[in-house]
Structure 1
């Protein structure tokens, strides 16, 4: 399960936040998608979940553990598929996510 609460992120050099107070929960085995117009923060959110972007505020828990505290081998066990489907909708699918 992935639980995101009050997520905020601003790219360095930008005045406006890219992500403002985002909250969602993805249950184990669930397929979850991000929908929105260009610039809404879909890719940014995915990059945060994958550990590519740091410096966010808020809480992200993966199976009850804080994302910032997970070891690097966590990312070796996560597979993410991103792609564009009809009319620019970006989808995210988490597969084989397992933590000890």
Structure 2
């Protein structure tokens, strides 16, 4: 999810709107599996960074509130936050 949203932002900045839209749609549709990927990441971290990218680049306005509330629920359900998660929030 996160890499596709990062790709969408890069494509948008390069002026390739059609491919940016495809990457963004794909990135927002998939989630992160809860398994070790050797990147110290988590679903919570990725969702926080995705929301930051959406806000900073003013894209997917219609999805931001929904994602913010989902992120808040995920934070509330967490017993603790990793360093990566804390820094992402």
TM-score by length of 2: 0.30
**Structure whose residues are more often helix by fraction:** 2
**Structure whose residues are more often strand by fraction:** 1
TM-score by length of 1: 0.28
